[in-house]
Amino acid sequence: MKKFHAYLIIFIFVFLPFSPLAASGGQIDFRSTQMGTSVRNTSGWVYDIVGERSNFSTGDDFHVLTRVYNIRSVDHFQIKQVITSSNTNETLYSPVYRPYGAYWAETYSWVNFGKLNSGSYTLRTYLSTDNSYYKEVSSKSFSVGSTYNNNYNYDHDYNYNYDYNYNYNNNYSPNYSYQWIRTGLGVNTSNDSKNVTDPRTSFRTTDNIRTLIKLTKIRDVQSFRVKQEVYNSSNNRVRSSESNTYYPNNRYWEYSFIDNNLGKLSEGDYTIRTFVKVNNGSYRQVSTTNIDVYNYRYNQYYSPRYDYSWTHSDNYLRHDGGYVYSLDNPKTSFRTNEDVVVLTKLSNIRDVNTLQIKHELFKNGSTRYKTLTSPIRNPNGDDWQYNYNYSNFGRVPAGNHKIKVYLKINNATWKLLDTISITVRDYNNYSNNYYNDPYYHYDWTKTGTEISATMNAYYNYAYYNY
């Protein structure tokens, strides 16, 4: 039997590529932030908090569940949770959610801060949309002590002071095999065998660090749980993340993948320690993994990468929703009474801090007539699947012209990407009636054994049906 699990649950309706072009005019409504001892899946992509409270024990895991809804015309957004006390300041980030302008009814996002020391705390929830600053949407106070009575069941079958004594009466002791842990920028969940996408052990300060753990041959296990702790070079724990409890219920599981998002870390060297707990026993460390995090702007390990897709021209730019743009009818032949619009597409943009596109129009192919430069785009080292930049040269004199396309990466020198040729004809020299431009639309050509035709005239328009 196979089983798959994820620490952070994302409510996603549509997956489309990412492309920042316009300022955000979207909307997200904040519904709630709840605190509890765990999170459970109630149905589909719906989740709720388990053991909701404001007083916690030092033995409790501190979970936070945030709900946002009515998400409209937003390319991407992220939720940040911050807990502070007199001696604690810890931040966890959600994944970057990407509606790409589509409507999302609601999203559930949760994090696990692990076990906390005694004290009085404040939890603040922040929301950032389309690379805007993080705006505080909620603030709650809570406390952690060593004497809180958690015998109350909260109607979710959790009893933290109860001593579980599992007696399975079978021929085997609980057993599993730890296979590996992998780190990278993402996890592919499109098939049964999960894998890490863009695997690496060196990360940027802007990266969300993803891990994937594989366990195999899980047998005679009632329940298990996985925990990861992150330690800095001074051996101080800076982050702790614990999965939900999973229930094989003594059935044999061939393998299980556990996917975790550790969020962003500041610059430095870190160790990830992975633990497994079986049947509510003690955690046992199964692996130690070393990673490093660098500041992209000052310590770039990777060369900038991108693919130049194309540059097309037309007289009209079409907005297809979100940050997706296209040309209504790409062409290279224009009249002097038409605008000349140029659209350039880049794709697979990685390890790029800034980029800028420049379009230069050369009259009759040799004389620079007009130069238009895009605003500076700021991937900040993040992966962008594509990006559009356009220029509107307005009405251009008659002639045979060339448009050169340039790209500047990370404030380096301009690089020539492409040269396209266009022809502009004098509108007033057409032999047809000035007020009636030649126009037609090609429908089709068909073959057959015979043709029957009918013609209906209506208001001087003819319709032929074959």
pLDDT of res. 24: 45
What is the distance between the alpha carbons of residues 239 and 258, in angstroms, rounded to a whole number?
A: 18
pLDDT of res. 254: 86
pLDDT of res. 296: 59
pLDDT of res. 1: 44
Q: Tell me if 115 sits within 8 A of 59, measured CB to CB.
A: yes
Convert the pLDDT of each residue in 104-117 to its tens digit. Answer: 888 999 899 988 99
Of 140-149, 258-267, 297-306, minimum mean pLDDT range: 297-306
Please give the domain boundaries of the chain with CATH numbers for all domains. 27-145 (2.60.40.10), 177-294 (2.60.40.10), 305-425 (2.60.40.10)
Residue 466 predicted with pLDDT over 80: no
pLDDT of res. 373: 93
Q: Residue 328: how many CA atoms within 13 Å on its side-chain side?
A: 9
What is the distance between the alpha carbons of residues 432 and 69, in angstroms, rounded to a whole number?
A: 57
Percent of the chain with pLDDT over 70: 77
pTM, two decimals, is: 0.35
User: What DSSP designation does 365 have?
Assistant: T
Both tokens assigned to 216: 């195999």
What is the per-residue DSSP string for 107-172?
A: EEEEEEEEE--SEEEEEEEEEEETTPPPEEEEEEEEEEES-------TTTT--TTS-------SSS
Convert the pLDDT of each residue in 351-373 to its tens digit. Answer: 888 899 999 999 987 889 999 99
Average pLDDT for the chain: 79
Region of residue 248 (left: phi > 0; alpha: psi -120 to 50; beta: else):
alpha
Of 1-5, 202-206, 394-398, 421-425, minimum mean pLDDT range: 1-5
β 367-373/355-363 pair status: antiparallel
Q: Which of 165-174, 396-405, 442-451 has the highest mean pLDDT?
A: 396-405
Convert the pLDDT of each residue in 42-68 to its tens digit. Answer: 766 778 898 888 999 888 889 999 999
Convert the pLDDT of each residue in 220-252 to its tens digit. Answer: 888 999 999 999 989 999 999 998 888 888 888
Torsions phi, psi for 429 (to 5 deg): -95, 5
